[in-house]
């Protein structure tokens, strides 16, 4: 039986050479994202802005958007977003935060329920007060920062500072581009998006660590290989695994996009994008970065030292036997 | 040598059996689980509110209101203490949480300080008999001003105990409404998370929880017409409240001193008045309350007294004769429902401070059901995609990975049932995602085996080397993932935390299933077939 093989064996692609293209490309996109972030901004969901979200399902199977909008506007202060989604008369309403603190949000929900109850099934109501939304912004930001710092610490402990920095640069790159995805698609950015970003952080590091683990191993083996060749060798020899894992992960996320339903589709889309970006950045961003981080000398010295120690330890343990 | 000892095989198989045993209740119907012997694991995964439908309210204890009411009470305490000691004052004012009492005669300063000293008693003694923080700091300034300030530590201790007390009262009120299996948890320093599965409209719940329900019996002050008091300044020790009289509110002047408070009630029931059959609330006092009520009514026969609920006067009847039986009726503009609500509130007791709903999330049963079915469908499709792909790539080794993958999902459910963890919609997404990433460990091992074999090693030694080399990178890559998942767990709440739990459990089980279990299967397969070439 001939089995499936996506990536050829014994490849000798010169991956790191592509940095002349990948670095400017990534830098340009990152800068564009930051500019967009500062000028246009994310489409924050009610988790972060506060406000009220309602999802209605028309009992007759057809939603009258105009009348829903009119009714909603009649008791609401400010703007209200009304959208139809899915098939068969599903409507989502998003109210801004009402002046008058928490009780005012509650009062709005009461009025909205009463107004729509007759013709629509109320599928979901979420109200987030101004205080909670402020805290969610805080904990979301803290989460992303904290994860990067602790991972940096872990990798420093397990690898080398240079490798850790390379991995974290790759991860930052992935976060920025994921935010870019939110900016371009105008997909709502909420607490689930933070979960997606943290998962992408995990996945991105996972990808990079696999390549760097090989780099570390090869450093011990080939002491005189130039850094770029060494990195190419690392990437090539882990490439079939990278492709495999990216494929299986992408396949399951694809199942989530296609069959997971509207409530989870957003998360799945972001993750799918993230997996592609992470795979790209592990190969074309974090790895070539090592050329500039001066990994060669210090890591080699450390690797040699470790090897010497290991040899010594092996000798010692062998003696009694 | 590729060797997997018998006892290890037995241990792995036993672990699998345990996993199946604990995961099994999730797919069995309720009737079968009920028929289980009692020692048998019958716990299932708890579905989050976003999957089973229901309401969730995040309530905050209003610390500011508590601070204010403590300050007002302190002002009254100072006033009373100084009056009892016959120490004349020109003014007793409140600024923030500080009471300033200006003495008429500076010579009485020492006496005043002495008199106020008991106010500075510690809030609660600590575990080792030492005194806790003093609730009030008593000081003097300018030679004739005595100050009493609420200490921050004291206020914080009050807020803490207020949250504890609120938890109990919320529990009682919610249970009085007959809701099914509500979950009430403390969250952070001053919050209460209330979850009620199956509840569609939390409006009535919000109404019931939105009231403090502080009931007081106080005398009506007749020394000044209430309109005049409202327009100018009410006499010291009295205040103007509003009374609801048949739909319109009228001002009424009430003494600040409380004759009897609602905490001395033992029972309250909604009934009908024997005179005009209108809805009323009848109540009973405990011994202390009955005695106080009897004394107060005896001393004030002929005068009106007010029944005050949350600073609103319900009614102000005249005391015709001393009420000594410790029982009474509250009449007012009640409907049957509002009389019933008041009885519920009085039975459950007053909240120490108002509760504010700061977050509310409700999911209808239809949406929950849809989420479950689409989540299940996505999980199956993901599994099928991955299983086919793994088999197509690695042949019999892929089959091993697929078996390990199945056990991995079984383990996730087993652990979640065992821990009583909650499965949310993002949690389902987490399961789907781990199906994709779980095989990563297998892929790492297999690719390494393949490399070693192509480099000229024998079958056995390349399999050995593959496992050995891949192990370090499996640990490193999964650790970084786990760090992200742990942080998500610590910071997230509700559904997002559900995702973190699944993701974290998935990382743990994948290391076990992909490394140990696959190794066992490959060892057994090798012993049986003695192959000379890799099947992929």
Report pLDDT digits (tens) over B168-190.
999 988 888 777 788 898 988 88
Question: For position A37, what pLDDT does the model report?
Answer: 93
Q: What is the pTM assigned to this prediction?
A: 0.81
- What value, to the nearest 5°, has the Cα angle with vertex B369 and ends B365 and B371? 120
Q: Does domain B6-52+364-529 have CATH number 1.20.1640.10?
A: yes
Strand-by-strand arrangement of the B355-363 sheet: A80-85, A90-95, A51-58, A120-128, B355-363, B54-61, B191-197, B183-187
| Residue A42: φ, ψ to 5° | -80, 160
CATH (domain of A156): 1.20.1640.10
Q: B331-376 pLDDT, tens per residue?
A: 888 888 888 888 888 888 888 888 988 899 999 888 889 899 999 9
A175 occurs within a structural domain = yes
- Which residues neighbour A57 within 8 Å (Cβ) at sequence distance 6 or greater? A88, A89, A90, A91, A120, A121, A123, B366
A121 occurs within a structural domain = yes
Distance from the A129 Cα atom to the nearest Cα atom in chain B, whole angstroms = 5
Higher pLDDT, B313 or B532: B313
Question: For position A179, what pLDDT does the model report?
Answer: 95
Last residue of some domain: A94, A128, A162? A128
Confidence of residue B72 (pLDDT cuts 50, 70, 90): confident
CA B181 – CA B171 distance, rounded (Å): 11
A304 occurs within a structural domain = yes
Question: For position B387, what pLDDT does the model report?
Answer: 95
Q: A10-32 pLDDT, tens per residue?
A: 788 888 889 989 999 999 999 99
CA A151 – CA A198 distance, rounded (Å): 12
Number of domains in chain A: 2
Q: Within a 13 Å sphere around the CA of B143, how many CA atoms are in the beta-carbon half? A: 3
A146 occurs within a structural domain = yes
**Best CATH choice for the domain B214-333 from the list 3.30.450.70, 3.30.1360.200, 3.40.50.1110, 3.30.70.890:** 3.30.1360.200
A105: tokens are 């949000």
- Which residues neighbour B422 within 8 Å (Cβ) at sequence distance 6 or greater? B45, B46, B47, B48, B498, B501
Best of A201, A202, A253, A264 to substitute, by most chain B Cβ atoms within 10 angstroms, is A202
Is residue B37 helix, strand or coil? coil
Chain A window 183-212: which residues touch B at a Cβ cutoff of 8 Å?
191-192, 194-195, 198-199, 201-203, 205-206, 209-210
Distance from the B42 Cα atom to the nearest Cα atom in chain A, whole angstroms = 29
**Would you list the DSSP string of B190-227?**
TEEEEEEET-S-THHHHHHHT----EEEEEE--SS-HH
Question: For position A310, what pLDDT does the model report?
Answer: 67
Q: Which of A175-184, A270-279, B439-448, B494-503 has the lowest mean pLDDT?
A: B494-503
Q: B246-296 pLDDT, tens per residue?
A: 778 888 999 888 888 888 888 888 888 888 888 889 988 888 888 888 988
Query: pLDDT in tens for each of the 321 residues of chain A?
Result: 457 787 887 788 888 889 989 999 999 999 999 999 999 999 998 888 889 999 998 888 888 888 888 888 887 667 788 888 877 788 999 998 888 878 888 888 888 888 888 888 889 999 998 888 888 888 888 888 998 899 889 888 888 888 889 999 999 999 999 999 999 999 999 888 988 998 899 899 989 999 999 988 888 888 788 888 889 999 999 999 999 999 999 999 999 999 988 888 889 999 999 999 999 999 999 999 988 887 655 555 666 666 666 666 666 555 543
- Of the ranges A163-177, B187-201, B207-221, the best mean pLDDT one: A163-177
CA A81 – CA B71 distance, rounded (Å): 44
Question: For position B133, what pLDDT does the model report?
Answer: 66
| Residue B121: φ, ψ to 5° | -60, 145
Is residue A151 domain-shared with residue A114, that is, in the same domain?
no
Q: Which of A121, A132, A205 sits opposite B480 (nearest CB)?
A: A205
Confidence of residue B125 (pLDDT cuts 50, 70, 90): very low
**Which stretches within B177-316 are classed as H helix?**
203-209, 226-231, 287-299
Confidence of residue B396 (pLDDT cuts 50, 70, 90): very high
**Residues of chain B found within 8 Å of residue A217, distances taken between Cβ atoms:** 469
The boundaries of the domain holding residue A188 are 15-42+133-308
Nearest to A163 by CA among A206, A203, A215, A224: A215
State the average pLDDT over residues B74-100. Answer: 85
CB A226 within 8 A of CB A305: no
Distance from the B250 Cα atom to the nearest Cα atom in chain A, whole angstroms = 25
The domain locations on chain B are: 6-52+364-529, 54-209, 214-333
CA A78 – CA A97 distance, rounded (Å): 9
Q: Which residues of A79-90 are buried (b: 16+ CB within 10 A; e: fewer)?
A: ebebeeeeeebb
- What value, to the nearest 5°, has the Cα angle with vertex A63 and ends A46 and A83? 30
Nearest to B197 by CA among B11, B52, B376: B52
CA A58 – CA A117 distance, rounded (Å): 10
Last residue of some domain: A128, A150, A171? A128
Average pLDDT, chain B: 86
CB B217 within 8 A of CB B293: yes
Global ipTM: 0.85
Is residue A84 domain-shared with residue A31, that is, in the same domain?
no
Is residue A61 domain-shared with residue A141, that is, in the same domain?
no
Helix, strand, coil distribution of chain A in percent, nearest 5: 70, 10, 20
Is residue A100 domain-shared with residue A231, that is, in the same domain?
no
CATH (domain of A99): 3.30.70.3400
Interstrand relation of B145-150 and B98-103 (parallel, antiparallel or unpaired)? antiparallel
Is residue A206 domain-shared with residue A90, that is, in the same domain?
no
């Amino acid at each position: 039986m001939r089995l499936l093989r996506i990536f050829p064996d014994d490849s000798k692609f010169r991956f790191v050479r592509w940095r002349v293209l990948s670095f400017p490309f990534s830098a340009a996109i990152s800068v564009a994202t930051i500019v967009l972030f500062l000028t246009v901004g994310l489409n924050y969901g009610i988790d972060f802005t506060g406000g009220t979200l309602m999802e209605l399902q028309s009992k007759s199977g057809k939603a009258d958007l105009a009348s829903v909008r009119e009714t909603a506007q009649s008791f609401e202060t400010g703007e209200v977003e009304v959208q139809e989604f899915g098939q068969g008369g599903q409507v989502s309403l998003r109210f801004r935060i009402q002046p008058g603190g928490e009780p005012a949000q509650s009062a709005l929900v009461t009025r909205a329920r009463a107004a729509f109850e007759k013709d629509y099934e109320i599928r979901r109501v979420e109200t987030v007060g101004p205080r909670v939304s402020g805290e969610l912004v805080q904990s979301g930001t803290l989460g992303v920062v904290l994860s990067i710092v602790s991972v940096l610490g872990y990798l420093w402990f397990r690898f080398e500072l240079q490798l850790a920095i390379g991995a974290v640069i790759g991860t930052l790159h992935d976060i920025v581009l994921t935010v870019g995805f939110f900016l371009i698609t105008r997909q709502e950015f909420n607490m689930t998006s933070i979960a997606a970003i943290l998962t992408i952080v995990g996945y991105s590091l996972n990808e990079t660590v696999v390549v760097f683990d090989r780099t570390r191993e090869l450093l011990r083996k080939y002491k005189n290989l130039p850094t770029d060749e060494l990195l190419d060798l690392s990437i090539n020899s882990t490439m079939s695994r990278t492709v495999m894992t990216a494929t299986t992960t992408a396949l399951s996320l694809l199942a989530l996009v296609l069959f997971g339903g509207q409530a989870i589709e957003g998360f799945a889309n972001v993750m799918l994008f993230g997996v592609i970006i992470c795979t790209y950045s592990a190969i074309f961003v974090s790895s070539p970065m090592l050329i500039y981080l001066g990994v060669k000398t210090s890591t080699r010295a450390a690797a040699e030292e470790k090897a010497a120690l290991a040899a010594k330890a092996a000798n010692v343990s062998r003696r009694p036997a | 040598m590729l060797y997997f000892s018998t006892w290890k095989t037995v241990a792995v198989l036993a672990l699998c059996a345990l996993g199946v045993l604990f995961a099994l209740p999730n797919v069995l119907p309720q009737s079968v689980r009920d028929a289980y012997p009692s020692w048998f694991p019958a716990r299932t995964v708890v579905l989050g509110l976003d999957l089973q439908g229901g309401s969730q309210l995040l309530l905050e204890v209003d610390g500011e209101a508590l601070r204010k009411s403590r300050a007002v009470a302190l002002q009254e305490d100072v006033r009373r203490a100084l009056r009892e000691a016959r120490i004349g004052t020109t003014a007793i004012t409140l600024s923030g949480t500080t009471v300033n009492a200006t003495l008429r005669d500076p010579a009485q300063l020492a006496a005043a300080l002495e008199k106020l000293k008991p106010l500075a008693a510690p809030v609660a003694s600590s575990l080792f008999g030492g005194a806790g923080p003093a609730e009030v700091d008593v000081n003097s300034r300018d030679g004739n001003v005595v100050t009493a300030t609420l200490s921050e530590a004291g206020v914080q201790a009050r807020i803490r105990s207020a949250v504890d007390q609120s938890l109990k009262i919320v529990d009682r009120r919610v249970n009085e409404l007959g809701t099914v299996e509500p979950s009430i948890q403390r969250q952070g320093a001053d919050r209460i998370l209330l979850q009620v599965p199956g509840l569609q409209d939390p409006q009535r719940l919000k109404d019931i929880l939105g009231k403090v329900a502080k009931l007081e019996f106080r005398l009506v002050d007749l020394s000044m017409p209430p309109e005049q008091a409202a327009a100018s300044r009410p006499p010291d020790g009295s205040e103007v409240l509003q009374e609801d009289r048949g739909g319109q509110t009228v001002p009424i002047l009430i003494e600040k001193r409380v004759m009897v408070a609602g905490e001395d009630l033992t029972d309250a029931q909604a009934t009908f008045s024997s005179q005009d059959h209108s809805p009323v609330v009848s109540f009973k006092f405990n011994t202390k309350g009955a005695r106080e009520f009897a004394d107060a009514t005896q001393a004030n026969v002929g005068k009106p007294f007010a029944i005050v609920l949350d600073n609103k006067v319900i009614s102000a009847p005249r005391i015709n004769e001393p009420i000594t039986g410790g029982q009474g009726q509250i009449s007012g503009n009640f409907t049957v429902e509002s009389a019933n609500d008041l009885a519920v509130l009085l039975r459950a007791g007053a909240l120490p401070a108002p509760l504010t709903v700061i977050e509310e999330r409700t999911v209808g049963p239809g949406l929950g059901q849809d989420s479950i079915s689409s989540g299940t469908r996505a999980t199956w499709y993901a599994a099928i995609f991955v299983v086919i792909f793994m088999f197509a790539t690695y042949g019999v080794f892929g089959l091993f990975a697929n078996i390990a993958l199945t056990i991995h999902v079984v383990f996730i459910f087993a652990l979640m049932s065992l821990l009583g963890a909650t499965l949310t919609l993002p949690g389902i997404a987490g399961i789907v995602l781990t199906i994709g990433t779980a095989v990563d460990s297998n892929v790492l091992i297999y690719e390494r085996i393949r490399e070693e074999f192509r480099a000229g090693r024998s079958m056995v030694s390349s399999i050995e080397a593959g496992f050995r080399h891949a192990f370090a990178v499996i640990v490193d890559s999964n650790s970084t993932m786990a760090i992200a998942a742990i942080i998500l767990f610590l910071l997230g709440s509700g559904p997002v935390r559900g995702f973190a739990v699944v993701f974290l459990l998935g990382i743990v089980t994948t290391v076990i299933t992909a490394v140990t279990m696959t190794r066992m299967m490959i060892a057994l397969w090798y012993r049986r077939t003695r192959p000379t070439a890799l099947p992929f």
